[in-house]
Amino acid sequence: MSVTVKHLYKSYQGRAVLRDVSFRAGRGRVTCVEAPSGGGKTTLFRILMGLESPDSGAVTLPESCTFSAVFQEDRLLSGRDARYNLRFVLGRAYDETAARTLLDALGLSDALEKPVRDYSGGMRRRLALIRALLMPSDVLILDEPFTGTDAQTRRCALDAVRRYAAGRVTLLATHTRSDANALDADTVRLR
Amino acid sequence: MKRNPRLWTAFFWLALWEGVSLLFGQPLLLPSPLSVAARLAGLLGTLSFWEAVARSSVRILAGFALGCAGGILLAVPASARPRVRQLLSPAVATVKAIPVASFVILSLVWLPSRALSTFIAFLMTLPPVYLGVSEGIRSADPQLLEMARVFRVPLLRRARGIYVPAVLPAFRTAVSLALGLCWKAGVAAEVIGLPRGTVGERLYSAKVYFLTTDLFAWTVVVVTLSVCFERVFLSLLDGVSKRMGV
């Protein structure tokens, strides 16, 4: 299974955001998408998830492909606690043990009962990452998932991504080169 | 001793009422608060009082419940489909604009008088609930809806997690408005339609026989019922909101 992008173009009000983007992301590999801020990473991810259409070009996905994602924004149910947020997307796939393990690893177990609106920015980001990792899917999209994390938590988060990326196509946008290196990621540069 | 501002406000207005009543010196025009309280105490001890209160409450609240259900059921497709919203818009505007008295008289032609207050309460509740719920649904966070779409969250779970918390604040405002309107319009409908053994009929009798003290006492009853039902319903709603993290 893989995701193939061929000659993708997208512009907004005459401003080209994606210009002739082509790559292939394979299963079990992390593909790191590199671009400066405003360079089209989020647009590319939105096109892959079917939230936007390209001006031209093609995206080839496996039939009935499922996604999980860390969006550019955290997109959490702010009045609810971590468990509810996880159950909301996972439904019957929610596994308390797996959730606990990840929440512990990323330092959120103490805040489990608190509504997410009381979390710091970094905590919200970590919860968004845990939600995406725990959700079974074919493609995992991570749009700057490590924002606001300290060095130690970042290492734990990278470990978790490495573990959960196995068996899926993983696309990662990060500004930190060392993150891509730590995940032994393939690199796609957007022009 | 700490002064309770609410108590002082109530005391001020009651004292003013008593003063004006003494100034008039005509209990037929303006009975004193004490005589109204005494009459109310007398009414509380009669079975017919409680029967009238129960009958009117059940009918008005049934209309309120039906109005809420109707408003929600119409708001869901109207929020999803602009054409449905356009189709419903003149009907809702008409119901809002037509005077209650016109509806009551018209309804008397169609319905038995015992169903009148239910129908009028239904008409008073439906537009604000419909508009409030529609607004709430449309205010649901588009980013959360997009997230739910990507994660393929089923519709029912999406409704509970995203739409209901978005709708609750607007629904609360609508319900608060509707409950007040229900009691005012519902009792007015009873006064015109005169269904037997209701609060409205008792108010009408008080007016016909110049029992001004009774008129005031029954008015106090209507205001109290309206306030109590509003408080109970809103506190239940606040409990739900709190549980849903709103």
ipTM score here?
Answer: 0.93
The pLDDT of residue A111: 83
Q: SS3 letters for chain B?
A: CCCCHHHHHHHHHHHHHHHHHHHHCCCCCCCCHHHHHHHHHHHHCCHHHHHHHHHHHHHHHHHHHHHHHHHHHHHHHHHHCHHHHHHHHHHHHHHHHCCHHHHHHHHHHHCCHHHHHHHHHHHHHHHHHHHHHHHHHHCCCHHHHHHHHHCCCCHHHHHHHHHHHHHHHHHHHHHHHHHHHHHHHHHHHHHHHCCCCCHHHHHHHHHHCCCHHHHHHHHHHHHHHHHHHHHHHHHHHHHHHHHCCC
Domain that holds residue A165: 2-189
The pLDDT of residue A64: 87
The string of pLDDT tens digits covering residues A66-108 is: 999 999 999 999 999 999 999 999 999 999 999 999 999 999 9
Reading chain A (191 residues) residue by residue, the pLDDT tens digits are 789 999 999 999 889 999 999 999 999 999 999 988 888 999 999 999 999 999 999 999 988 899 999 999 999 999 999 999 999 999 999 999 999 999 999 999 888 889 999 999 999 999 999 999 999 999 999 999 998 888 888 999 999 999 999 889 999 998 888 888 889 999 998 87
| Inter-chain contacts counted by CB atoms under 8 A, chains A and B | 50
The pLDDT of residue B64: 97
Nearest CA in chain A to B143: A75
The string of pLDDT tens digits covering residues B146-167 is: 999 999 999 999 999 999 999 9
Instruction: Give the count of domains, chain A.
Output: 1
- H helix or E strand, kind and range, residue A24: strand A15-26
Please tell me the distance in Å from A25's CA to the nearest CA on chain B.
19
Please state, rounded to an integer, the average pLDDT across all residues of chain B.
93
Pick from A49, A77, A81: CB nearest B161: A77
**Residues on chain B touching A117 (C-beta within 8 angstroms):** 245
As a CATH number, domain B49-243 is 1.10.3720.10
Q: Beta A67-70 vs A15-26: how paired, if at all?
A: unpaired
The string of pLDDT tens digits covering residues B181-238 is: 999 999 999 999 999 999 999 999 999 999 999 999 999 999 999 999 999 999 999 9
Residues of A (119-158) whose Cβ lies below 8 Å from B: 135
The pLDDT of residue B2: 65
Nearest CA in chain B to A141: B150
**Residues on chain A touching B157 (C-beta within 8 angstroms):** 88, 91
Boundaries of every domain in chain B: 49-243
The pLDDT of residue B1: 55
User: B152 and chain A: CB distance < 8 Å anywhere?
Assistant: yes
Nearest CA in chain A to B150: A67
Average pLDDT over residues B102-109: 88
Pick from B150, B161, B245: CB nearest A69: B150
Residue B80 burial (CB count, 10 A): 11
pLDDT > 90 in chain B, percent: 84
For residue A127, the domain's CATH number is: 3.40.50.300
Pick from A71, A78, A88: CB nearest B157: A88
Pick from B148, B154, B165: CB nearest A79: B165
User: A23 and chain B: CB distance < 8 Å anywhere?
Assistant: no
The pLDDT of residue B108: 87
The pLDDT of residue A63: 85
